[in-house]
Every structure is written in C-alpha cells, then in structure tokens.
Amino acid sequence: MSVHKYLLSGSSLKVATMAAVDRLSASLPNSFEEGREEGLLELVRHELTIAMTGALYGPENPYDDPEIEASWRDFVPGISHLLYSPFPSLTARKALRARSRVIDAFRKYFETGGHLQAFPMIPEMYEINKSHGLASEEAAKMEMATSLAMLSSGAVTAFWLMFHILSNPDIAETIREELCAVAKDESASDMATPRTKVLDLNGIKDTCPTLMAMLNETLRHHSTVINIKQVQHDTTLAGQYSLRKNGIVMIPGQSIHHNTNIWGPSANDFDHRRFLTAEHKKNLSNTTAFRPFGAGATMCPGRHFSTSVILSLVAMVVLQYEVEPQQGQWIAPTKRNADLWNAMPKPDWDIDVKLTKRIEEKDIEWKFVWGDGAVKISS
C-alpha cells in the first residue's frame, strides 16, 4: 500500500512529480541538442527513465549509471522468454545477465544507504521487505518489479502520443498555442534578450484541452491492458454467461476501447477530437468504458505521476523543438510483435528523427516548474 499512500494523490505526489520535472528540465537540453539524429522511442525512453527513477530513487539513483540504464534496456526484451520459455537460460541469456547487473546495482544502493536519500516511498518499501525477512539481495530483486511498473509503459505511451502530435502540424500548433497562453513572461525588462518565459506544468491538464484529449485518445486507441478478476460467487451475466465462484475472468481492454456501442462507428480509428466532445469526455470517469490503467482495486496507483511526467516531457519538446522524421514523412509503425505482458504495445520499429530548435524559440529561455515549490510531505 506504500505506492497508493505516496503516489495516488496529495503533497507526496506533488513532490515526486516536481522532482521528475526538474530532472526533465535539466536533462532535455543535453539530449535534444540541435541537429541530433536518433530514434524517437530511444530519446523519450532515456528522458523518462532518468526523470522518473531519479525522482523516486534520489541522488544515488542506480539508473544514473549509463551501464545500468543500458542493462535495463537489455532486460526488457527478454521478459517474454522469462515468462513463457521452458529454457530461459538459453533463450533469454542476455536478459538474465542484464537483470543480474541491475539487481546488483540495487543491492549496493541499499547496502550503502542510497535509499535513505530517496523519495520516502522507497525506504518505507525497503523496511517492509526487511520486516518480512528479506535480505538486501532479495529487496534489490523487488525493485525490478518497481522499475517495471514505472518504466514499462511510459516511454511507449510518450512515443505514440508524440507520433500523433508531431505527424499533424495543425495539432502541434494548437497545443503550442494552448501552452503559450498560460505561460508567464518573467523577463527582467521589456527589452531583455532572451525573453524568459515560465510554464507551470502543474496546470496543463486543465488548461491544455487538446494535449489532454490527445493523451486520452492515445491511451484508448493503443492500450492492450488486460484486467483479471476472480469471481466471488456463482453468477450469470446478461442472462447467458454463467460464471462459477473462484473462476477467473480476463477482460481485454481493446475489446472495450474499440467497442462501437461505446465509442461510435469510429471506434477503431484514432480521432484527436474525440475527447474534446462532452459525449466522450464522460467516459473518462467510467471504468466500464475507459480503463487503460485497469479498474477497481487493481487500478494503477502511479497513473497520476506517470501521466504528469509524460505530459511534461511532451510539452517541453513540442514548445521548443521541430522534430522531423529522417525518411521525410511520418509513417505509423506496426505493432504485430508487441509484448503480450505490456499494457502499451511498443512499435515494431523506431522512427529516426532529426531535432532542430524552433526558430520562434531561439530568443526565448524557457523555465519549466511544477507548482510553487512550497510543499511538505505529510506522513
């Protein structure tokens, strides 16, 4: 329950998000440098990994080590083999070695007290593990689950969101206008160059409807989350489906998110205006219609943290950079080889992009903040 306690709402959620935004703001100029050419998924994966893990694990964050970050990237593609293969030592050898390196880094992290400087959730979880008899080695293994929850879907979600925004110049420009409308000019004088503009990202969920609509449509259109429920007593659904007590019900998210009875005849299409209408906005609070984060007791407790950091990254990029595909046009990758275990299907290939600073922004110095900074975590 530590995750629910610290990341579901309140001042602790604000502290974690603020730390992640600070890391993004500091890291982005180095990663998104003028003229850089790289895969879009790789770019956003790196930024979100450093920002989100740094916000939780603190100044001794194991993922700040490029070798550990790379080891995590090597581990994830082998998860399917680790789950389903009868001989993972043969079929997922690279992933097993990578996992061992990450676990060893976390073992050292705990043994040297790195967790004592971290977000309060981390030392509390460590103490809970110790109270159940887990040694540092076993506690380190538990962080693989924490990391997977934090990192498995975020970068893929950000990739698809940025793809849909950047491939439609009109949408990108609308989002820039919404963001600029709520930014504050804090230049020293009217003649100051460069101009200093401050954007409080804490409010963009309320003040940037197009960006939020794009995020929600990205989640609806792409999410492949599967909810699993246990039947509590014998029951019959819709007068024709008999469910036995203790049976297992699997609910594929796609069958709900692409249901024409809920979303209309365009349910299978990506519609960037869908969540700008009152008709579909009401579905956001209805978990029988919209459930990219699950539902009920198993709903993802880190969803507010994750979506806030994703939106912050996208806002920073869209405001400051032109991102163009190297092949000349935006072509949506297929998702046929996506992992079954991941709630967001990764693309079958990355999109190589070229980054340039937007001409309109070359005389502007952007500062990105999250709230006023005056916050204290209540225990």
Q: What residue numbers does the annotated binding site for heme cover?
A: 300
The three-state secondary structure class of 343 is coil
Question: How far is the C-alpha of 306 from the C-alpha of 277, rounded, in Å?
Answer: 25
Residue 128: partners with Cβ closer than 8 Å, 6 or more residues away: 2
User: What values do phi and psi take at 290, rounded to 5?
Assistant: -135, 110
The answer to whether 49 touches 62, Cβ cutoff 8 Å, is: no
The answer to whether 120 touches 6, Cβ cutoff 8 Å, is: yes
Whether the bond into 333 is cis, omega within 30 of 0: no
User: What values do phi and psi take at 365, rounded to 5?
Assistant: -105, 115
User: What values do phi and psi take at 208, rounded to 5?
Assistant: -125, 75
Q: Within 13 Å, how many C-alpha atoms sit on residue 157's CB side? A: 30
Provide the 10 A C-beta neighbour count for residue 369.
Answer: 16
The three-state secondary structure class of 84 is helix
Instruction: State the helix-helix crossing angle for 169-182 and 209-222, rounded to 10 degrees.
Output: 130
CA angle 131, 134, 137 (to 5 degrees): 145
The two three-digit tokens of residue 95, written as one number: 């992933």
Binding residues: 300
What is the DSSP secondary-structure string of 224-235?
--EEEEE--S-E
